[in-house]
Homo-oligomer: A and B are copies of this chain.
Amino acid sequence: MSFEAWVAVHTPRVNAALDQLCPADGSPLREAMRYSLLAGGKRLRPLLCIAAAEAVGSEIAAVLPAACALEMIHTFSLIHDDLPAMDDDDLRRGLPTCHVQYGEALAILAGDALQALAFEIAPTHAVLLARACYQMCAGQAEDLAAEGQDIGLEHLQHIHSRKTGALLCASVVSGALTAPPEARAALTHYGEKIGVAFQIVDDILDVTGDDATLGKPAGSDLKHDKATYPKLVGLDESKRLARRAEQEALAALEPFGTLAEPLREIARYIVERNT
């Protein structure tokens, strides 16, 4: 199966599961949750979870709740990060952000409720998800504190690894919780490396992308006077570092043979994407 076909099989499956696990109930809160949760998006975290399950020979149906929980946590973080008190963004995935659409109070509660729902549907993954969720909050706090500061590459990498890396890595590991320790360790290494690649490319796209393609305002990092890879090491070196992280991620997948093909394709996609 080509990667495109693989994505075309699993993305609708994830979307259907999300719709079913967070059904409309007539309440404005649920409407706000569904507005952000079902607004599209690449479903990168659920697909990582499913691809990892394939790599270790696990049943995909068994990891689907965890895959959906990851997307709920990701969506909760987007809703809160977009708030006026945080990054103050009006546009997300090409649509008005949750607080623009429903007001700040309901947006805060929709984020809170999505976090709660994630733990309800994937309780066997609670510790893994909770730790990643905590790291994500800590990373966002450090990111805000670093705005306008003159920070170095090491500090930037630390913030990135917590803010986005932790949940991406947890996405991979969550698909392989029942695999042997060596397999989990290799996938953790893969997860860490694609996390690095993801954030470097995110920084690059904030410089080189345009609003329409990104579905959110480009230049947002500049606006917030945030340290980024292109700012610290230049565009060319940023691209080189992203490619190196991709290669390291691919190397970690060697023991899995062809079963890891979707994970390989995702690593490539992360570096080559333009959105």
8 Å CB interface, A130-167 against B: 130-131, 133-134, 137-138, 140-142, 144-145
Collect the chain B residues with CB atoms within 8 Å of residue A103's CB.
Answer: 85
User: With A28-B145, A138-B29, A141-B27 in contact, is A119–B126 under 8 Å at CB?
Assistant: yes
- Among A127, A130, A145, max chain B CB count under 10 A is at A130
Nearest-neighbor residue (CB-CB) of A120 within chain B: B130
Residue contact B109 to A140, C-beta cutoff 8 Å: yes
Q: In the bound complex, what is the Cα–Cα distance between A245 and B183 (angstroms)?
A: 55
Asked if B113 and A115 sit within 8 Å, CB to CB, the answer is no
Contacts of A113 in B (CB 8 A): 133-134, 137-138
Give Cα A27 to B108, complex, Å. 23
CB distance from A79 to the nearest CB of B (A): 10
Main secondary structure of the interface of A (DSSP, over half): helix
- 66-96 of chain A: CB within 8 A of chain B: 76, 80, 83, 85-86
Q: Is A48 an interface residue (CB 8 A)?
A: no
A137: chain B residues at CB < 8 Å are 29, 109, 112-113, 116
- Does A111 count as interface, using CB distance less than 8 angstroms? yes
Candidates B76, B120, B129, B130; contact of A131 at CB < 8 Å: B120
The listed residue (B80, B106, B127) touching A141 by CB distance below 8 A is: B106
Say yes or no: is A104 at the interface (Cβ < 8 Å to chain B): yes
Between A and B, 12 residue pairs with Cβ closer than 8 Å are A27-B142, A29-B138, A83-B105, A85-B104, A85-B105, A105-B141, A113-B138, A115-B116, A116-B137, A119-B127, A123-B123, A123-B126
* Chain A interfacial positions (CB closer than 8 Å to B): 27-29, 76, 80, 83, 85-86, 103-106, 108-109, 111-113, 115-120, 123, 126-127, 129-131, 133-134, 137-138, 140-142, 144-145
Q: Besides A27-B142, A85-B105, A123-B126, 19 other CB < 8 A contacts?
A: A27-B138, A29-B141, A80-B109, A80-B112, A83-B105, A85-B104, A109-B137, A109-B141, A111-B112, A112-B133, A113-B133, A113-B138, A115-B115, A115-B116, A116-B137, A117-B130, A118-B130, A119-B129, A119-B133
